[in-house]
């Protein structure tokens, strides 16, 4: 059940809080007590704080962040719901990667990376993660992002609580691959 709960939490904390009868504040936070009650009413009557803590702790992608006081929770990144994570600009590493499906390569070469339904483009600092992400969408291809040049030219990067790098878009001329 924890995988099902994790997916539901991702849905309500990133995209559709109304599915659990909750709301997110401007920074994406909601009360854990309210979330637990909402998830129970949404069809998971056995969901409780201990289950939530286990899902947060064991989530491989570290998708959720609990506030320092332990009373609030939010998704670390990946929102389509309008929130401001209030992340500070960060200097990116020398290389960032983006995994996608090979079938999307022509469009990416024309338009660059755009956030689609999400608020920002997601990038990783390791190749293996990018391969996994790309594999979810078909035959994977990993794009290499020239992050230092982007930053030097004024494009801002942020790092989410779970280590994912975020930016508003990646123009095509900052992308390369040795796979195409």
How many domains is the chain built from? 2
On whether the CB atoms of residues 97 and 33 are closer than 8 A, the answer is no
pLDDT band at 178 (very low <50, low <70, confident <90, very high): low
Structural domain includes residue 171 = yes
115-147 residue pLDDT tens: 988 889 999 999 999 999 999 888 999 999 999
- Based on the fold, state whether residues 64 and 8 are members of the same structural domain: yes
Structural domain includes residue 17 = yes
Structural domain includes residue 132 = yes
Structural domain includes residue 11 = yes
- Based on the fold, state whether residues 62 and 129 are members of the same structural domain: no
Q: Could you please report the per-residue DSSP string of 81-107?
A: S-----PPB-PPPS-EEEEEEGGGHHH
Q: What is the pTM of this model?
A: 0.83
CATH assignment of the domain containing 28: 1.10.10.970
Structural domain includes residue 138 = yes
Provide the pLDDT for residue 180. 40
11-25 residue pLDDT tens: 999 999 999 999 999
Of 22, 45, 75, the residue at which a domain comes to its end is: 75
- Cβ neighbors of 110 (< 8 A, separation 6 or more) are 172
Structural domain includes residue 49 = yes
- Based on the fold, state whether residues 13 and 55 are members of the same structural domain: yes
Instruction: With CA atoms as reference, report the closest residue to 36 among 15, 9, 4, 58.
Output: 9
Domain around 28: 2-75
The Cα–Cα gap between 135 and 152 comes to: 31
Of 75, 104, 125, the residue at which a domain comes to its end is: 75
Provide the pLDDT for residue 61. 85
Q: Which residues of 42-73 are buried (b: 16+ CB within 10 A; e: fewer)?
A: bebeebeeebbeebbeebebbbbbbeeeeebb
Provide the pLDDT for residue 121. 95
Q: In the 8-state DSSP scheme, what is residue 112? A: -
**Which residues partner with 66 through β-bridges?**
73
Has residue 179 got a pLDDT over 80? no
């Amino acid at each position: 059940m924890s995988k099902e709960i994790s997916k539901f939490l991702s849905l309500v904390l990133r995209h559709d809080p109304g599915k659990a009868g909750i709301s997110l504040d401007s920074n994406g936070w909601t009360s854990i007590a309210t979330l637990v009650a909402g998830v129970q009413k949404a069809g998971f009557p056995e969901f409780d704080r201990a289950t939530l803590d286990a899902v947060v702790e064991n989530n491989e992608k570290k998708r959720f962040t609990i506030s320092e006081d332990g009373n609030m929770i939010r998704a670390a990144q990946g929102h389509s719901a309008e929130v401001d994570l209030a992340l500070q600009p960060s200097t990116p590493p020398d290389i960032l990667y983006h995994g996608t499906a090979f079938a999307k390569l022509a469009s990416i070469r024309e338009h660059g990376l755009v956030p689609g339904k999400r608020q920002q483009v997601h990038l990783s600092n390791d190749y293996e993660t990018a391969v996994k992400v790309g594999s979810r969408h078909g035959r994977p291809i990993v794009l290499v992002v020239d992050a230092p040049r982007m930053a030097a030219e004024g494009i801002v990067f942020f790092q989410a609580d779970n280590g994912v790098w975020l930016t508003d878009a990646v123009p095509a001329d900052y992308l390369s691959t040795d796979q195409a």
